[in-house]
Amino acid sequence: MRLRAPCTPTPRAWTVELRSHTSGLLLACRQCRHDNNSTVAATSARSAALTHLARHAHQDTLPPHLRTCQCHERGCRWHRPHRGCAGTIRLLLACERGGRVWRLADTCTACAAATAHAAVVPDTALLTPRPALAGPRRRRQPSEPDARIRVREMLSYLAAALPDGTSPATRLIALQCALRISTSLRVSLPRGLLRSLRLGADPRPWQELEQARWLRRTPERADDEVAAVLLDAVVLGQAPARRDRRHAADWALRASSPSRVGALGPLPQLMSVYLTAHSRPETGQGLIEADRTAYECGIQPAELPPVLEQLAAAGLLNAWRITADTEDLRWILQLL
Name the strand (E) or helix (H) holding 291: helix 290-296
Separation of alpha carbons 41 and 49, rounded Å: 11
Q: What are phi and psi of 67, to 5 degrees?
A: -80, 135
CB of 5 to Zn ion, least distance (A): 26
Q: What are phi and psi of 100, to 5 degrees?
A: -85, -25
Which one of the spans 76-84, 150-158, 188-196, 268-276 is the region binding Zn ion (CB under 5 A)? Answer: 76-84
CB of 19 to Zn ion, least distance (A): 14
Q: Give the chain's end-to-end CA distance (angstroms, integer).
A: 70
Which one of the spans 19-27, 75-83, 184-192, 218-226 is the region binding Zn ion (CB under 5 A)? Answer: 75-83
Separation of alpha carbons 251 and 247, rounded Å: 6
Separation of alpha carbons 321 and 307, rounded Å: 12
Which one of the spans 82-90, 133-141, 192-200, 220-228 is the region binding Zn ion (CB under 5 A)? Answer: 82-90
When binding is defined by CB under 5 A, the residue of 21, 58, 72, 260 that contacts Zn ion is 72
Which one of the spans 70-78, 136-144, 263-271, 297-305 is the region binding Zn ion (CB under 5 A)? Answer: 70-78
Q: Pick between residue 85 and residue 312 the one whose CB is nearest to Zn ion.
A: 85
Q: Side by side, which strands form the sheet with 24-29?
A: 38-40, 24-29, 13-21, 101-108, 89-96, 118-120
CB of 39 to Zn ion, least distance (A): 15
Separation of alpha carbons 69 and 190, rounded Å: 41
User: How many chain residues touch Zn ion (CB under 5 A)?
Assistant: 10
Q: Pick between residue 169 and residue 234 the one whose CB is nearest to Zn ion.
A: 234
Q: What are phi and psi of 301, to 5 degrees?
A: -55, -35
CB of 59 to Zn ion, least distance (A): 9
Q: Pick between residue 111 and residue 297 the one whose CB is nearest to Zn ion.
A: 111
Q: Pick between residue 2 and residue 83 the one whose CB is nearest to Zn ion.
A: 83
Separation of alpha carbons 316 and 232, rounded Å: 33
Please give the single-letter amino acid code of residue 222. Answer: A
| 3-state percent breakdown (helix, strand, coil) of the chain, nearest 5 | 40, 20, 40
Q: In the range 261-320, which residues lie near Zn ion by CB under 5 A?
A: none
Q: Pick between residue 73 and residue 250 the one whose CB is nearest to Zn ion.
A: 73
101 binds Zn ion (CB under 5 A): no
Task: Write the DSSP assignment of 249-286 as a string of letters.
Answer: HHHHHHHT-HHHHGGG-HHHHHHHHHHHHTB-TTT-EE
* Residues 26-65: x where in contact with Zn ion by CB under 5 A, - otherwise, as a string: ---x-xx---------------------------------
CB of 213 to Zn ion, least distance (A): 18
Q: Pick between residue 51 and residue 156 the one whose CB is nearest to Zn ion.
A: 51
108 binds Zn ion (CB under 5 A): yes
Q: Pick between residue 21 and residue 72 the one whose CB is nearest to Zn ion.
A: 72
Q: In the range 181-200, which residues lie near Zn ion by CB under 5 A?
A: none
When binding is defined by CB under 5 A, the residue of 71, 118, 154, 317 that contacts Zn ion is 71
Q: What angle do CA 155, 309, 257 make, to 5 degrees?
A: 50
Contact footprint for Zn ion (CB under 5 A): 29, 31-32, 69, 71-72, 76, 85, 108, 111
